[in-house]
Structure 1
Amino acid sequence: MKALLPSSSQIPPWLILYCRRHLCISSTSSSLTIQQPKTPPPPPPDSTTNSLDTDHSCGRPNSEDVKFTKNHVVDVLLSHRDDPDSAYRYFQTARLQRGFLHSKSDPFFVLLHILVNSAMHQHKSRRLLDYYASSDSGPSATVVFNGLVKCGKTFDFGLNPKIFNFLVSSCMKANRLNDAIDCFNAMLEHDIMLWIPIMNSLLKKLVRQGMVGVAEDLYTDIVSRGTHYDCGTVHILMEACLREGKMKEAVKLLEETKMSGIKFDAGLYSCGVYVACKEQNLSLALKLLEEMKCGGWVPSEGTYTNIILACVKQGNMVKALRLKDEMLSNGHLMNLVVATSLMKGYHLQGNLSSALDLFDKLVEYGLTPNKATYAVLIEGCCKNGDVEKALLVYRKMKLAGIKSNAYIENSLIKGFLNVDLLDEAMNVFDGAINSGTANVFVYNSIIAWLCKKGQMDKAQNTWDKMVANGILPTIISYNNIILGNCRNGNMDKALDFFSQLPERHLKANVVTYSILIDGYFRKGDADKAENMFDQMVSSGISPTDYTFNTVISGMSKVGKTSEAKDLLKRIVEGGDLLPTCMSYNSLIDGFLKEDDVSSALSVYREMCNSGISPDVVTYTTLIDGLCKSNNINLALKLLKEMRNKEIKLDVIAYAVLIDGFCKRRDMKSASELFDEILQVGISPNLFVYNSMMSGFINVNNMEAALVLRDKMINEGVPCDLKTYTTLIDGLLKDGKIDLASHLFTEMLGKGIMPDDITYTVLVHGLSNKGQVENAHKILEEMYKKSMTPSVLIYNTLIAGYFKEGNLQEAFRLHDEMLDKGLKPDDATYDILISGKLKDNSFGRGSSMPQ
């Protein structure tokens, strides 16, 4: 019996498994087994009879002498190509016989062609291929593909796309992706039509298994060969791009698909809108949305959400609100993401009331605000200056059982600091530390503000607390503390922090070096500033435009403006910097500070010739310098040019012009500019008021000066020491000693302490009005405050005593001057000789000492 069984080594396991499960046994051949019958059947009545007789059609061999060779089986199968059932039964019988070669054999390929060409038997071809693909010992898919191609051409079956698509599908089912890809590529090479569903299934499977690059290559090959595909194909590739974060490639794919004429479906439109929104291509997103609606599709809630968020992000609140209304009218419900985004859009446009109104309507929409919603609203309140409302929302969040986080607390801290409420900010800060939510960003906010305000002791304490609490400083932390120390003039401390960077495994960046370079220039140490610049370059850090401008500005401030100009020229010629308005403004300011007006004007002309338009700072700097050098006519010419170019004057530009006119005692022109300030809606600052009051006093119009003082107070502009000194000087010259005394008392009551100039004004004014003894008391008061009177004060008192005939006290004051280490000047000896102060710089109409 065993001798009659075919050798198992000749039969692939997948065929044995298939045979066991699917061996077809008809009712007329129910006795058929894989054994040979004990009694051989009679020989065929006619030797010329077809070798596949009635019994053969049931799968039983006619004689023991029949050899089941490959060619014989192929011939028999081909003779029944129009009878797939018989061919199928015969193949099942033949493949179990001794001597039949199964592996990589033509009979299998011929049978597949016979079955696939019959609509009623295609399922059997798919089943055979499924079992082939699931076997580990079958031939490669390339061998099967080539066999099918060869048999299709040899036996005139043709290349039916169905069998090849079935082959790809079977390989995918068995997760033989490489075989599926090989067959896929072979079909493209042989120009065999790919079924779009099979193609899409393969691409989707590749994407899901992370073989995105392979999927993209296949898609490129499909498109380049002109193979048909649909929007589903594109959708799969779009998802692949999204998975890889390739947004630009996704947009390109979208645009190419539109050009190819592929019709989009709702899913592809939604995906396209999402990609366009992510790329901030709002115009494309809106265009796709309109096309989608024109195609009869109603955008989903997610699609509306994506595009509303994109509109808000680009500041297009009008479109965002219209789309929100459209979303609701299409039957979608308001969601929390849209509501929160709209709140952010409102507050970014300064419309805090609408953001708060929407927050109150959340209940009507059936929505409960989450932490993100509260964070957006609190940030909005703080950025719009309503910290009280921010605190109310914060407390409401706490009552709702939502825990705060570092972002929310940082928003509150910044809000309080923006309005200089340090105590309130520190309360939130301490709470964040106690709750463990304070991170490095929270600490950075406090440290940066303290450094900006020059409160370096408190900044250092906060830094120490941060380190003690295990919060690691970032390079931003170090840049803030270094900047604070540089601005405070403490370069040694700044360098100490700079030296800590390697220990913290932090690397100084271009901002760090720029801060230190600026710090040295502010200290007037150009050599160390230049050394720091060289150190930065040697560390491999490329200077930015800001760095170069810092160097140019610094050199201009330390009297090296000509060198700065040469440096700018070299940098521009080397292509390292495109000169900006800031670069030229620094040079102009430097030359003006050196009283080199012609060089400043030369830089201005060079700037204009280079195609760089001067800005308000350029004109203001030039006008200020020209006014100070008494070139008022040229300053007015620049003012006219500025207005012709429709450059709006700011308060500084008005201030320097007004000051220039006041110093020329042209109060008519100064007053016209002052009125113009009010007309254009600019609030005059303290400098403007002080210049105007000084100007009126210089032309003996004390009444106008006092009117301006009252206006200044009504406008909420506080008087400073210069204001009081100027007014006291004018009142004393006018003989209004009581009012001058009242202002002096008011000044002291506000905590404003007099300086040497104030005391000089008092001494001179009282002496001129015959109150030398009261003037002498001012001298004594200065000594009590450890202040050294100037030679001018002594000269004034000596002249006063001479005028009263008290020569003894006049000479005593001369001796006192010598005892105090003061050196009498020529004016002192003129007084002692002639008995009066010849160069009376404090005569009526003159200005006070500057």
Structure 2
Amino acid sequence: MMLSTLKHHVTKHKPNSLFSSILTFFSNNHSSLSPSSPPSSLPSPSFTISKNDVADSFKTWFTTRHQSHDPLLLRVFQILSSGDDFSAALSALSLPLSESFVLRVLSHGGGDGDILSCLKFFDWAGRQPRFNHTRATFAAIFRILSRAKLRPLILDFLRKFSRGRVTHKVRFHDTLVVGYAIAGKPDIALHLFGKMRFQGLDLDGFGYHVLLNSLVEDNYQNAFDVIANQIRRKGYESHVTNVIVIKHLCKEGRLEEVEAYLNGLVGSGKELHGSEVNFLVGVLCDSNRFERAVELVREFGTSGSFPLENAYGLWIRGLVRGGRLDEALEFFRQKRDSEGYVPSHVRYNTLICRLLRENRLNDVYYLLMDMNETCTLPDMVTMNAVLCFFCKLGMADVALELYSSRSQFGLSPNHMAYKYLILTLCWDGCTNEAYRVLKSSARAGYFPDRRTFLTLATALCRDCKIDEMKELLHDALLRNFKPNSSVYDRFISALCRAGRVEDGYLIHGDLKNVTVRFSYTKMIMGFTKSNRGDIAARLLVEMKEKGHELNRFVFRHVLNCLLHMDNPRTRFFNLLEMLTHGKPHCDIFNRFIDGAMDAKKPDLAREVFELMQRNGIATNVSSQILVLKSYFKSGRISDVLHFFNNLRHQGVVSKKLYNPLIVGLCKSNKADIALELCFEMLKVGLNPSIECYEVLVQKLCSLKRYHEAVNLVNVYEKTGRRLTSFLGNVLLFHSLISPELYHTCVQLRSGIEGELHGSSMLTPIIGAFSGCLKVNYSIEELEELIAKLFPVDIYTYNLLIRNVTHHDMDKANELFDRICQRGLEPNRWTYDIMAHGFSNHGRKDEAKLWVHEMIRKGFYPLENSRNLI
């Protein structure tokens, strides 16, 4: 019985509970479900099982399959699948070589899809002195190869066979006819058959039927009638003939004739074996005529002359192929409950594989349990489906355990099982295990498809598995598998991250046509870190030639590296020449100005700007701003003003240049000049940017020049703009520092607040904040008034909390809660203000709790806060 551990639970719990526990086991041990995760609407499990229990249970079930086989056959295939010298090992077994034994071996291996082992054994047996292959053994190996879609191998074998006829003690012509018929070459088979008849030779019943079937497969209508008549005249007609005739009529679409033919067989007293009816049922199902198929089964089945299990199986197969999975499951359950119907393992597999494709994992689990209950032995398809099942569940550890134990029950994974196992292990971060599975699959003749290859390559590059990645690419090229550019891109990036930039550069040298921008960036950054600016510069030029965007970040690193090497100025301008040769472009020059500025070389930045002017390259506002910023960065304010005045005299100054100039002057503590330029802009009809007003007001307030600050706010509002959060917070903050700001507002805004857009409450709010104005506003009302004045943010709330903590910590607590309810995230300053508020009110223990909460949230306490602990 299958699944000893699972079986124990099934007897105590509903199967759905067991399935839920498997899912719960996975979700408790992994952070996320795989892309093919099962439905989430499952009940909570009432018990749990471990991954080892699950794996062991399925291993026990799989092992029962081996126990039903001849131990000698198992030993033969164990030897054939090993990498050792199988020839000597097989000889040591003293096998009872005969036609029947060889057919048993081939049947065993062919059923499991172990084509390579079958070929090895067939070749070995043919070389043994006491055995010669027969036509039956040849036909058996031909069928195995045909099912595996290896017909070219059959044809190659037949060509060699025909050239060495004297070495074979077998019906030579029969074998050739049967071989070519199985290989899908009925024209050659007919030609050889004609030669046989000319020489007075003939086929036996087996050969005739193989030839007749191949004629049906390839629609040889005239020849079919001739061969069919030959079979009848020679007395070879049997139920096999009837099946082939029915198959022929079905392929011709003559279904009414098929039914008449079947009725004729019944009327003449011939016994039906079931396969005659089954074929018609299958054709009707494939053409979606399910109702007629059911009627036919009932009509011929009432006689009881043949069992209906195969017809039921074909019905299920037809429903599955037609995408009617729910009907197939319902039919299966109905016949199981009413008639005790147990489908063959092939039909179970048909259902399971299609359900897996649809990710209906709950139904898959039920079918697997049903196979166990009915003692249906799993075959290779079932075991591979189980591997895929656990991969789709995301339980890669269970799938990997079954895969690692495959030798115990003769599991030979197929392409789909390998694919899902590799993908799931990659998604779980088990890159080493995924790579080992790939190597094993390659030895078994499977190489991943593009999606699987890309996923594994991405995982190897992500984990910097350089040697494994090199081997993977080598194996791919040996198989004429050409990875796309993204694979090489990731590999080059991984090499750069691993500090092997030179190796990445060598690969890039061989694959220039596929290297993309990201790889260039990684290599450039790698070479700049190792002070190889010359190579980094060469790559930058190559990037431009390939049409890739040259961003500021890359430029800065390359230029900074060049400017710290020997002959920096020469290297700098050589690179500029290479990048602008033939097609000088303003944007390239701007990048060099920015790079020189970043490397703290303002003179070099100005020199590039002047070079543009000398060469007639039109400068733009970006060029001018970059030169300004380079001077600001080096603290050369006089050069800033000189440069600006020159441009102003040339009449090329615009608003875009004024704005960064004013901001830079404020940050350089040149508020008077900045204010003068601001009003100069207004005088010539240019409205300064919001940032200009913000930094000017902030600077003036910090210098306690409130009169000028409030006047500037008035000017700002007269332009029709609403106060920004930054401006409002600056005013509120300074109202807490000094009452002078309020008095200035009263003086400068008295009588005009009603005229200003939405700002009639600014003076009262500043008065309330500074304590100069006694009002009856609650904290909630004050909060609402501020929100009408400007958009509130966490900085605004910090100011409100700071104000409230002076007189009521309970109100401060309420305000803190309201901040969280409104979706804002309290920051380091919020916790610090709360902690000091409690401390100032003598509530030291609560202050400590706030400091600890600040630390728990990941904020490092300020020095004053640390003293509270």
TM-score calculated relative to the size of structure 1: 0.38
Higher relative contact order (CA 8 A, sep 6+): 2
TM-score calculated relative to the size of structure 2: 0.37
